[in-house]
Amino acid sequence: MKKVRVRFAPSPTGFMHVGNARTALFNYLFARHNKGDFILRIEDTDLDRHNEKAVESIFEILNWLGLEYDEVYRQSERFDIYKKYVDYLLEKGYAYECYCTKEELENMKKEQLKKGLPPRYTGKCRNLTKEEKEKLKKEGRKPVIRFKLPENEKIVWEDLVKGVLEFDSSNIGGDFVIVRSNGIPVYNFVVVIDDHLMNITHVIRGEDHISNTPKQILLYKAFNWDIPKFAHLPIILGKDKSKLSKRHGSTSVEEFRSKGYLPESLINFLALLGWYPNEKLYKEISQKKEHPEIFTKEELIELFDLKDVNPAPAIFDTTKLDFINEFFIRKLDLDTLYKHLKEFVKVREDFDIKEIGDTLVIKIKDKEFKTDKKTFYKAIDLTRNYYKTLEDVFVYLKELLTDKFEIDKKALEFIKTNPESIKVIEKFFEKVKLEQVLNKDTFKKIVKSIQKELKVKGKKLYMPIRIALTGKLQGLELDTLIEFLGKERVINRLKNFFLKGEKND
């Protein structure tokens, strides 16, 4: 049995779409599950759209996701290889030079549409004589090279996801271009050459490539090569069931990375876009799992099988991604979480963490805060259950690391419309000063006594204290915040609140 060899073959024209990332992941999982090879091939023959930064981004994103490739190739370095296979097709009569102009092709298309026919190349240049070609060249025409389609041939393959698919050679657009007029070979041609020479056994890609497959199969047959197995992954839709696009929010891996999603969370989420493990196999490991939809990369490798890929469209729901990310963040030990934060700030200009001796300098937006690693770890440990993303870490750190803050408009409005609020804050200040230590238990005791003395409860009791300590209507649990701050810092915050009140009078 042949060793499994698969490839991820992105075109470097921009950011990596989540659909491409899923394709990379499914290829990677299939290769590792079958003890095979995962190959990265940069398809950069379209020099007009080529973007070298996008090439760098592909390498960076795959490394960030932890999808280690075994070999890497660039099509732009293989033009000499492709040329000899073009020459072979020309010699054998499987291909020919076409001198049709854009205008002629457009008129051909218009005539066909007028007659209610699907647009296709008519084969006008199939049988040009040597003299006719010379004449056209003298006019300054540069030919493309087209592959000559066989007449009325059925092209059938059993897709590993979609099942049996069938096309007719008369309905795939006519003789198709394999080399542009500038001498650069096109996608459908070079992928066949590369997949053969690289011994690719399985072509796993998005279903938008189904229409390319019959053309590629005909090329395999012309070369008398073995045809790999094909697996076309389902399209990804937004929650509204329309094709996933920018209007649904973030769609690139780079965007999710910069928002603070962990690579393991994104891997888990992408794996579930159209795949779920075989029930029987899954039962063997599910008893040890905390949640049925949380998977490590190792578990995904163990469980992954193309048979379990659903051919129906996959729905992209970031609510699930948020849940998965929260779960993974909560499970990280503090050292690992800190490493993730150090990586995260590299892709954000508004956040930073610098180590200067024993001091950590934390940049949040336009402010810097100094602390030590022990206090920093304590802060993230206390607040980690509130994080959906790594970005949230800095939101809560700001609340914990600075005693100077502005009071929100809504918080001020609450104070103004609830006159007993100032009395609650004054009473709280008075009682805090009497305590030796301020922790969850002493806070509970203080609140009970204020409730009894002032006859207030619920929001009218807790909200004034929150506003005085944070300037906001929402945030950490008050007892958690107060225990972290301790008596001295709580008093500082209360003093700052009263100073602000005096300035506003």
* Burial label, 496 (beta-carbon count in 10 A; 0-12, 13-18, 19+): middle
Q: Round to whole Å and give the CA distance between 484 and 490.
A: 10
- Nearest CA among 18, 42, 22 for reference residue 30: 22
Strands 236-237 and 314-315: parallel
SS3 98: strand
In whole angstroms, what is the distance from residue 337 CA to residue 262 CA?
Answer: 10
What single letter denotes the amino acid at residue 213? T
Please answer whether residues 24 and 55 qualify as being in contact, where contact means their C-beta atoms are separated by less than 8 angstroms.
no
DSSP 443-461: HHHHHHHHHHHH---THHH
Q: Give the residue among 157, 109, 151 at the shortest CA–CA distance from 126.
A: 151
CA distance 439 to 437: 6
Strand 144-147 and strand 202-206: the pairing is unpaired
Q: Is residue 246 flagged as an active site residue?
A: yes
Positive or negative CA dihedral for 265, 266, 269, 274?
A: negative
Q: What angle do the packed helices 440-454 and 459-470 form, to 10 degrees?
A: 130
Three-state secondary-structure class, residue 341: helix
Whether residue 393 contacts residue 339, with contact meaning beta carbons closer than 8 Å, is answered with no
Q: How far is CA 412 from the centre of its chain?
A: 40
CA distance 5 to 3: 6
Joined together, the tokens standing for residue 94 give 């499987």
Task: Give the pairing of strands 144-147 and 367-372.
Answer: unpaired
Backbone torsions φ then ψ of 442, nearest 5 degrees: -70, -35
* Contact by Cβ (8 Å): 144, 177: yes
What is the Cα 296 distance to its own chain's centre? 17
- Residues 182 and 173: beta-carbon distance below 8 Å: no
**C-alpha to C-alpha distance for 26 and 233, rounded to whole angstroms:** 9
Can you state the angle between helices 478-504 and 373-383, rounded to 10 degrees? 100
Q: Of the listed 130, 154, 246, 280, which one is catalytic? A: 246
> Dihedral (C-alpha) 322, 323, 327, 329: value to the nearest 10 degrees?
10
Residues with a catalytic annotation lie at 246
